[in-house]
A and B are shown apart, each in its own frame.
Chain A
Amino acid sequence: MDTLMQFGTGVFGTAWPAVWTLIKIVLIVAPLMLGVAYLTYAERKVIGYMQVRIGPNRVGPLGLLQPIADGVKLLLKEIVVPSGANRFLFVIAPMLSLAPALAAWAVVPFTDTLVLADIDASLLYILAIGSMGVYGVVLAGWASNSKYAFLGAMRAAAQIVSYEIAMGFALVVVLMVSGSLNLVDIVQSQQKGTFADMGLNFLSWNWLPLLPLFVVYFISGVAETNRAPFDVAEGESEIVAGFHVDYSGMAFAVFFLAEYAEMILIATLTSLLFLGGWSSPVAFLPDGIVWLLAKICFMLLFFLWFRATFPRYRYDHIMRLGWKVFIPLTVVWLFVVGIWMMSPLNIWK
C-alpha cells in the first residue's frame, strides 16, 4: 500500500490525493453499476422462476449477457424530446434522479475501515441526499408536457414525501439506541449485547428489538423507490409508464439506473442499520464484507419477491398506509424505545 502511495505521489504530485479518491470512487461505482445491470437480470430470472418460467436464457450462457445487450440496445436508440417539452429540464431530469442515488454511496461503509468518506453525520447526509431524489421524477413529469407523465410525477412526489417521514422517524429511533450519526458506529453498536455475549450475534442486531421499525423502514424504502407494489407512479395499466412515458433511449436508461441504484442503496442501508452490516451472525465466524454483500442480496431478493407476489396497491391505500399506519407506528415505537431505555431493562448501555 505504501509503495502504491509513493508511486502515486511521484506521478501525480500534489494532485495525488484527488486522483486516489477518484480511484476509490470508481472502485465503488463500477461494481455498483455492474450490480445494477445484473440486478435487472436477477429480477427477470427470479420472477421467471417464481412464475414457473425460465427467464432470459438466449444471450450468452444462461442469458448472462442479457443486461449488456439491453444496454447496447438502449444506447443505440433515438432520444426523443417531445415537441411541447421543456428541452432543458427534460434532459437534466434523469441526471437529477441518478446523481443523488449515487452520491449517497460516498458515506456507505463496507467494513470498519473501508469507507470513502468517514464523516460524523453520515446518516444525516444520506437522509439529506435521499430527500433530493424526488426532483428527478417531478421534473421529468412536468417537462414532458404529457398528462400521463404529469399525473405520474405528482403521484410519485406525494408518495415519496409521505414515506420519507416514516423513514425519518425510524432513523430517529435507530439513533436513540446507537447514540451516533455515524454509520460505522451504528453497525458497531449492534455488535454488543446479551445475545452477542452468548455468541448469537444476529439476535443482538437492531432488527429484533426494533422489529416494527425494520419492517416500516424497508417497506417505506420500497415505496420510496416506486417499486411494486407501490408503483402507481409508473402504473403501466393506467398511466402507461407515468413520469417517464416520453423518455426513450439512454435518457430512459438513466432513470432505470437510478431506480436500481436506489434499490441497492435501500437494501444496503437496511442491512447496515438493522442487520448488523458486516458483522457475522454468529461469533465463531469472522466479520467481513462478505456478510454485508450477502445481506444486501437477501434484502434485494425481497424487492423482487414483492414484485412477483403482490398486486399493485390503490393510490389512496398507499397514502393511508404511509400516513395512518406507518407514521403512528413509528412514533409509538419511539415512545416504547424511550421508555424501555429509561427502565432497568435497558439493553443499550
Chain B
Amino acid sequence: MDFKTTVFFFLSAILIFAGLRVITARNPVHAVLHLILAFFTSAGLWLLLQAEFLAMVLVMVYIGAVMVLFLFVVMMLDINLDQLRQGFWKYLPLGAVIGILIAIEMGMVLGSRYFQVLDSEVPGVAANASNTRELGALLSTDYVYPFELAAVVLLVAIVAAVALTFRGPKKTRYTDPAAQIRVKAADRVRVVKMPVEKQD
C-alpha cells in the first residue's frame, strides 16, 4: 500500500466517521462541525483525484460560506434536535431501503467489469497542466451557455432571498450629526411670555 492509498483510507475513514456523527450528534452545532470536517476531508479526497481547483472551491464555498450560514442558523434558532428525531424510527425502513439501493448501485459500479468511461473521452492530463486554466478555457468557450445560466440562477437566488427574508428597513432611531449641528436654540426652546401667577 503506497502513501497515496494510505492517505486515501485515512481521509475516507474520517469522512465516514464525520458523516455518521452529522446524523447522530445530539447537539446541532456539533453536527454542523462534523459536516465541516466531512467537507474538508472530501476536499482532500478530490485532491487525491487531482481535482485541485474543485477541491479548493469546495473548501472556499462550502466550508467558507455555506456552512457559515448553517452555523448561524443552528446557533441562533436553538433547534431541539431530539424533537426532530422522534420520527427517526418511523422513517428508518424507507431510509434503509434507499440506502441499500444506493449501496447496491455503488457495488455494481465498482464490481462491473464493463463499466468504464470510453477511453477516448478522457483528456490526458498533461504533466504541468493547471486544471484551473483548463477549466477557465472550457468555461469561456464551450461552456459559455451554462456559465451565463449559472449567473441567472444566482440572480434568482438573490431576488428570492431578499423578497422572502427582508421585511423593509427597520424603524430604528439614530442621530444625524449634521442635523444636530444645524439645530438652533430657537428650534428647541420656545420662549413664551405669560403673566405671573399669584400665589394664594
Which A residues have a C-beta under 8 Å from some C-beta of B?
86, 88-89, 119-121, 124-125, 127-129, 131-132, 134-135, 138-139, 142, 154, 157, 161, 164, 180-181
Task: Indicate if the CB atoms of B132 and A121 lie closer than 8 Å.
Answer: yes
Interface residues of A, dominant DSSP: helix
A202 to chain B, nearest CB (A): 29
- Assess the A132–B132 pair: CB atoms within 8 A: no
- For the complex, what is the distance from the CA of A209 to the CA of B130, rounded to whole Å? 27
Judge whether A120 and B130 touch: CB under 8 Å: yes
In the complex, B89 has a CB within 8 A of chain A:
no
Given contacts A125-B56, A181-B130, 7 further A-B contacts (CB under 8 A): A89-B30, A120-B131, A121-B130, A121-B132, A124-B132, A127-B56, A142-B29
| CA distance in complex: A135, B59 (Å) | 13
Q: Which of B109-135 contact A (CB under 8 A)?
A: 130-132
A157–B132 CB distance below 8 A = no
> Is B98 in contact with chain A by the CB < 8 A criterion?
no
Residue on B nearest A129 in the bound complex, by CB: B59
Contacts A134-B68, A157-B68, A157-B72 hold; do A127 and B60 have CB atoms under 8 A apart? Answer: yes
Chain A neighbourhood of B59, CB < 8 A: 128-129, 131-132
Complex Cα–Cα for A95 and B60 (A): 19
Tell me which residues across on chain A come within 8 A of B71, comparing CB atoms.
Answer: 135, 138
B56 cross-chain contacts in A, Cβ below 8 A: 121, 124-125, 127-128
A135 touches B60 (CB 8 A): no
Nearest-Cβ distance from residue A287 to partner chain B, whole angstroms:
24
Q: Are A138 and B64 in contact (CB under 8 A)?
A: no
Q: Return the contact of A128 from the options B30, B60, B132 (Cβ within 8 A).
A: B60
> Which 4 A-B pairs have CB atoms at the shortest separation, nearest pair first?
A131-B64, A128-B59, A124-B56, A128-B60
Q: Which residue of chain A has its CB nearest to the CB of B58? A: A128
Instruction: Select which of A121, A139, A164 is within 8 A of B52 by beta carbon.
Output: A121
- Contacts of B63 on A, CB cut-off 8 Å? 128, 131-132
Of all chain B residues, the one with the shortest Cβ separation from A141 is: B75
Interface string of B14-48 (1 = CB under 8 A from A): 00000000000001011001001000000000000
Chain B residues with Cβ under 8 A from A86's Cβ? Answer: 27, 29
| Contact among A88, A127, A135 with B36 in the assembled complex (CB-CB below 8 Å) | A135
Whether B53 sits at the interface, judged by CB under 8 Å, is: yes
Q: Which residues of A contact B155 (CB under 8 A)?
A: none
A177 CB to closest chain B CB (Å) equals: 15
Q: Are B130 and A132 within 8 A (Cβ)?
A: no
- Residues in B whose Cβ lies below 8 Å from that of A161: 65, 68
User: How far in angstroms is the closest Cβ of chain A from B125?
Assistant: 12
**A124 adjacent to B53 (CB under 8 Å):** yes
Distance in angstroms between the alpha carbons of A180 and B132 in the assembled complex: 9
Q: In the assembled complex, how far is the CB of residue B151 from the closest CB belonging to chain A, in whole angstroms? A: 14
Q: Inside 8 A of B60's CB, which chain A residues have their CB?
A: 124, 127-128, 131
B187 to chain A, nearest CB (A): 26
Which residue from B36, B64, B68, B132 sits with its C-beta under 8 Å from A181?
B132
Residues of B within 8 A of A181 (CB): 130, 132
**Residue from A88, A89, A132, A139 within 8 A of B64 (CB atoms):** A132
Contact mask for chain B residues 62-88; partner A; CB cutoff 8 A; 1 contact, 0 none? 011100100110011000000000000
Contact B75 A142 (CB under 8 A): yes
B64 touches A121 (CB 8 A): no
Give the shortest distance, in Å, between A2 (CB) and chain B (any CB).
24
A128–B43 Cα distance when bound, in Å, is 11
Chain B's closest residue to A164 (CB) is B64
Assembled-state Cα–Cα distance A205/B36 (Å): 38
**What are 6 A-B interface contacts by the 8 Å CB criterion?**
A120-B52, A124-B57, A135-B36, A139-B33, A154-B76, A161-B65
Complex contacts, A157 vs chain B, CB 8 Å: 68, 72
